[in-house]
């Protein structure tokens, strides 16, 4: 307990000595002592892989004895340490530092400690026993590890929803942590995200720059907090960010700019004064610390958003605009075309009325369109072949914020955009035709590669493809009509 309380003050040699002794005696510690040890070393940022290995082995044998606080503490400590026993063999992009360490053998599924903790949280009453802050930090811990699947996000989210508001509701950074975790995990629960947006609006004056950025990104990426349904949050986001603008660093600032671009081109989300201040701060941050490639790509989409709004006065400096566009184009060129996209291009070339099909076409805004189809009746069509990763989760038909932003900004440039989603491509059926490729699209969770399966060939007639294209064009026309005031 003393180590946990004073961990930042203890010398590294003392931590090493404690780790060496404790690792050999981990099996003798009770659950409180195990969680205290893990927390102390995580708080201090002191690497002790052998000790964490021992704690992981001991803890997972008796997780049923841990208090709710102990479960949350162990989850947080192992996630914070980025230890192999928690994050698995390959650290996700969002993991917080730490080099590869020893621990449980890598496997296709989650490591044993994380899998055991997930199972323990599913025991009736266990997730509900965590307090709001513990629920938020446990969600964060699983999402930081790149944990996929509906659980434990479903049970933790259900436990969290009725306790988001006073008295003793979720506050400040905990709201941001929960929203970020659920969005990172691609968890689909509009009611929960709506409740988080209400809680965030009520707490927005107590949120720091990083919290505001993470909330804006989470709501934008998950596409479950529409502006029209949550004016209280979005009307306060701009002013609250403006007050703290000097506290934003490059990452949090570019995330905020991108999230605003996703939310809506309406000035209600960010007025002209705030947009000008945000543009000025982006240029200032880039001049002093240099934004990385990913951040510059977000800035480019933010600039396109300013053009959508007609905010010429709030435009970014020319040098930053050009660098952001170059980064955006460079990233697009690194992305290979998918096998599904190539198959669709081949099929569309045989459709009546289609004069030509170009693949991977870069348009004026810098976006790469999957296919540019010249059609006798419809004219030029920007065709997006939308596989599972364009949608929030496996089986979901809700586009991610990134997909929605690309669609909207392409349409705003005057392109007629049509989307061919994977489930409609999967439904195309025809009589078996020897030598045809399998047009079925693998789901995100399929373990085998998406490829031809002998004896299960599926194709589609030219007429079926023509009807699919016509339907997609009609859908685009409905979207344009809905967007036209």
Tens-digit pLDDT profile for residues 70-109: 999 999 999 999 888 898 864 444 433 332 333 333 345 7
**Three-class SS state of 15:** helix
Q: How many CB atoms lie within 10 A of CB 25?
A: 11
pLDDT for res 9? 57
Tens-digit pLDDT profile for residues 172-211: 899 999 999 999 999 999 999 999 999 999 999 999 999 9
**Three-class SS state of 392:** coil
pLDDT for res 311? 74
Tens-digit pLDDT profile for residues 381-390: 999 999 999 9
Q: What is the largest CA-CA distance in the chain?
A: 77
Tens-digit pLDDT profile for residues 368-425: 999 999 999 999 999 999 999 999 987 899 999 999 999 999 999 888 999 999 888 8
Domains assigned to the chain: 1-163 (no CATH), 336-483 (3.40.960.10)
List the single range of 31-40, 162-171, 356-365 with lowest mean pLDDT: 162-171
pLDDT for res 8? 55
Please give the structure tokens belonging to residue 341: 């996209």
Statement: residue 157 has pLDDT above 90:
yes
| Region for 223 from its dihedrals, namely left if φ exceeds 0, alpha if ψ lies in -120 to 50, beta otherwise | left
Prior bond of 421 cis (ω within 30°): no
CB burial string 138-166: b at 16+ within 10 A, e below: bbbbbbbbbbbbeebbbbbbebbbebbee
With a CB cutoff of 8 Å and minimum separation 6, the contacts of 334 are: none
With a CB cutoff of 8 Å and minimum separation 6, the contacts of 323 are: 286, 296
Distance from C-alpha of 456 to C-alpha of 396, rounded to nearest angstrom: 25
Average pLDDT value for the chain: 85
Distance from C-alpha of 240 to C-alpha of 249, rounded to nearest angstrom: 16
Angle at the Cα of 436 (from 432 to 437), degrees rounded to 5?
115
Least Cα distance to 361 among 347, 343, 349, 373 occurs for 373
Distance from C-alpha of 75 to C-alpha of 34, rounded to nearest angstrom: 12
| Strand ranges (E), 166-308 | none
* Centroid of chain to Cα 19: 36
Distance from C-alpha of 370 to C-alpha of 358, rounded to nearest angstrom: 8
- Kindly list the distances between the CA atom of residue 405 and the CA atoms of 60, 288, 402, 408, 412, in Å, as whole numbers in the listed order: 43, 29, 5, 5, 10
Distance from C-alpha of 453 to C-alpha of 457, rounded to nearest angstrom: 7
Distance from C-alpha of 364 to C-alpha of 357, rounded to nearest angstrom: 18
* Centroid of chain to Cα 398: 13
- Which spans in 185-230 are helix H? 190-203, 209-222
Please give the structure tokens belonging to residue 19: 């780790």
């Amino acid at each position: 307990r003393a180590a946990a309380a004073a961990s930042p003050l203890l010398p590294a040699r003392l931590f090493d000595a404690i780790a060496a002794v404790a690792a050999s005696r981990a099996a003798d510690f009770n659950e409180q002592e195990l969680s205290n040890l893990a927390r102390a070393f995580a708080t201090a940022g002191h690497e002790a892989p052998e000790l964490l290995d021992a704690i992981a082995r001991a803890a997972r044998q008796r997780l049923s004895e841990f208090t709710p606080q102990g479960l949350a503490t162990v989850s947080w400590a192992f996630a914070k340490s980025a230890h192999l026993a928690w994050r698995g063999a390959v650290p996700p992009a969002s993991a917080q530092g730490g080099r590869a360490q020893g621990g449980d053998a890598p496997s296709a599924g989650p490591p044993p400690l994380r899998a055991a903790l997930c199972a323990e949280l599913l025991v009736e009453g266990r997730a509900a026993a965590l307090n709001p802050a513990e629920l938020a930090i446990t969600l964060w811990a699983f999402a930081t590890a790149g944990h996929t699947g509906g659980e434990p996000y479903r049970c933790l989210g259900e436990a969290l929803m009725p306790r988001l508001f006073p008295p003793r509701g979720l506050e400040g950074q905990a709201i941001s942590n929960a929203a970020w975790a659920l969005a990172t995990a691609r968890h689909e629960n509009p009611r929960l995200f709506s409740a988080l947006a209400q809680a965030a609006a009520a707490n927005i004056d107590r949120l720091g720059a990083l919290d505001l950025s993470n909330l804006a990104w989470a709501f934008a990426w998950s596409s479950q907090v529409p502006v029209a349904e949550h004016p209280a949050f979005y009307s306060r986001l701009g002013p609250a960010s403006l007050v703290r603008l000097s506290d934003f660093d490059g990452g949090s600032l570019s995330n905020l700019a991108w999230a605003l671009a996703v939310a809506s081109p309406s000035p209600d989300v960010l007025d002209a004064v705030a947009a000008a201040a945000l543009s000025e701060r982006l240029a200032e941050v880039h001049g002093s610390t240099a934004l990385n490639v990913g951040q510059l790509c977000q800035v480019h989409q933010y600039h396109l958003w300013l053009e959508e709004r007609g905010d010429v006065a709030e435009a970014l400096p020319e040098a930053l605009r050009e660098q952001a566009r170059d980064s955006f184009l460079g990233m697009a060129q690194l992305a290979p075309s998918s096998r599904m996209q190539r198959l669709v291009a081949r099929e569309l070339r045989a459709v009546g009325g289609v004069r030509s099909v170009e693949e991977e076409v870069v348009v004026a805004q810098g976006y790469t369109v999957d296919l540019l189809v010249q059609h006798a009746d419809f004219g030029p069509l920007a065709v997006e072949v939308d596989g599972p990763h364009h949608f929030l989760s496996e089986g979901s038909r809700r586009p991610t914020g990134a997909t929605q932003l690309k669609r909207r900004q392409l349409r705003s440039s005057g392109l007629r955009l049509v989307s061919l989603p994977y489930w409609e491509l999967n439904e195309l059926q025809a009589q078996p035709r020897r030598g045809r490729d399998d047009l079925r699209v693998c789901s995100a969770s399929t373990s085998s590669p998406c490829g031809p399966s002998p004896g299960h060939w599926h194709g589609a007639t030219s007429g079926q493809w023509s009807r699919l294209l016509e339907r997609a064009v009609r859908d685009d026309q409905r979207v344009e009509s809905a967007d036209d005031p």
